[in-house]
Amino acid sequence: MLLQNKKIAIVGGGPGGLTLARLLQQKGADVKVYERDESQEVRAQGATLDLHFESGLRALEEAGLIDAFKANYRPDADRLRVVDENAKIFLDEHHEDSTSSFGDEWFRPEIDRGPLRNILLDSLLPGTVVWDSHIVAIEQRSAEEAEHSWEIIFQNGNTAAADILIGADGAKSKIRPFVTPIKPFYSGVTVLEGNIPDAEKNAPKIYGLLKGGKIMALGDSKTISVSAKGDGSMDFYTGWNVDANWVTGSGIDFKNGKQVLEWFKKEYASWDDIWLELFEVEGTVFTPRPQYCMPLDQQWEAKPDITLIGDAAHWMPPYAGEGVNMAMLDAVELSESLTSGKFTDVQSAIAHYEKQMFARFAEIGRDTLNNTEFMHSPEGLQKLLAMFNGQPNERPVPG
């Protein structure tokens, strides 16, 4: 076996990294996942995720976890309403009979990120995830210097050694610079995200419009996306065209809800007052996120003992719902390359995986950037509705 007697370190305990750990452990590999969170419960996990037949759901099938997923997903949470800035409904899936189910290639069931993470964590051998592993340095060692190729040094003073290092540590990956110097570029759009607890009480009008599903609102070259969560809260994301340095140059204290509300009233001045509910709840944590994308034609020479998956490999905006699905499919294809027996050395297996990953990203990244651009254009609503009419199952929503 290609991985026999090799220690594998996966940096990052998101869905991609945990899926890869599960798939490799099924093949008997020695795997550790190093996650910067102090524990499994230390923070709330993010938005709802829609998993796709050919990627996220395929990964769960191959990991033997589809039954656990079926027990935890949220039926009908994928139902979408497309509205304009005045909350006028132009597309309403709540009035449609559900025609999709597991096994249907267009079925995209929703699950909250927290339950998905728990399913994956529960599938791993005890001690697989090493919590409180905030990396401060990584050192590559030669055979003369050390038994293992990589030494990872953590903020808490611990260290770890590995023969193969896999970066699953997201957009600001500390592993990526060891693989490639290629940098991302700014997409032109910044997102401001937040969460409303007890949405029925705190944002009753939007809660009623949401109906436990999703909202996409478009108008004046701007967007607002809202998703219901299983805990009764709802996540929201505003998106608009702005300079890449807006976050630091705006002068806004994003911990000050009143300042954020005043900004929203000015930036979204043409939007109906219903959307103010998203910004009037005291204590809301607002997180600005400029949206970057890796070059669609990125390539690099495969290394003998290090590679990347997920956003660490192909960071892109969220306007295609492909982020988590791409990461989980990366996990499938990398695990297959490393354990199939088709390759005589790890570098060849990594090269095979990366070739597939580059090709997928070039296509999906292009579609994502197209969605990002047209949704934040004056004709965004009309173009989105035309897309749904032509391809009703292609859903360009964050997820």
Q: Is the pLDDT of residue 26 over 60?
A: yes
Least confident stretch, 73-82, 331-340, 352-361: 73-82
Least confident stretch, 38-42, 309-313, 335-339, 364-368: 38-42
When pLDDT is cut at 50, 70 and 90, the band that residue 183 belongs to is very high
Mean pLDDT in residue range 84-113? 84
Percent of the chain with pLDDT over 90: 84
Tokens of 287: 């997180």
Least confident stretch, 33-42, 276-285, 296-305, 308-317: 33-42
Tokens of 356: 């597939």
Mean pLDDT in residue range 42-66? 87
> Are 197 and 284 spatial neighbours (Cβ–Cβ below 8 Å)?
no
Give me the residue spans of the domains in the chain.
7-74+110-182+294-374
Mean pLDDT of the chain: 93
Q: Is the pLDDT of residue 391 over 70?
A: no
**Structure confidence at residue 392 (pLDDT):** 44
**Structure confidence at residue 306 (pLDDT):** 98
When pLDDT is cut at 50, 70 and 90, the band that residue 100 belongs to is low
Is position 113 annotated in a ligand binding site?
yes
Which residue would you say has higher pLDDT here, 393 or 356?
Answer: 356
Mean pLDDT in residue range 78-107? 85
Is position 345 annotated in a ligand binding site?
no
Half-sphere exposure of residue 58: CA atoms within 13 angstroms, side-chain side: 17
Mean pLDDT in residue range 315-322? 90
Mean pLDDT in residue range 64-88? 94
Looking at domain 7-74+110-182+294-374, does it have CATH number 3.50.50.60?
yes
Q: How far apart are CA 212 and CA 230, in angstroms?
A: 9
pLDDT tens-digit series, residues 215-272: 999 999 999 999 999 999 999 999 999 999 999 999 999 999 999 999 999 999 999 9
Own/partner pairs for 52-56, CB < 8 Å, 24+ apart?
Answer: 52/108, 52/321, 52/322, 52/325, 53/104, 53/105, 53/106, 53/107, 53/108, 54/105, 54/329, 55/322, 55/325, 55/326, 55/328, 55/329, 55/332, 56/15, 56/324, 56/325, 56/328, 56/329
Q: Is the pLDDT of residue 5 over 70?
A: yes
Mean pLDDT in residue range 294-301? 98
Is position 74 annotated in a ligand binding site?
no
Is position 36 annotated in a ligand binding site?
no
Question: Across the strands, what pairs with 192?
Answer: 238, 288
Half-sphere exposure of residue 132: CA atoms within 13 angstroms, side-chain side: 6
Q: Is the pLDDT of residue 99 over 70?
A: no
**Structure confidence at residue 399 (pLDDT):** 47
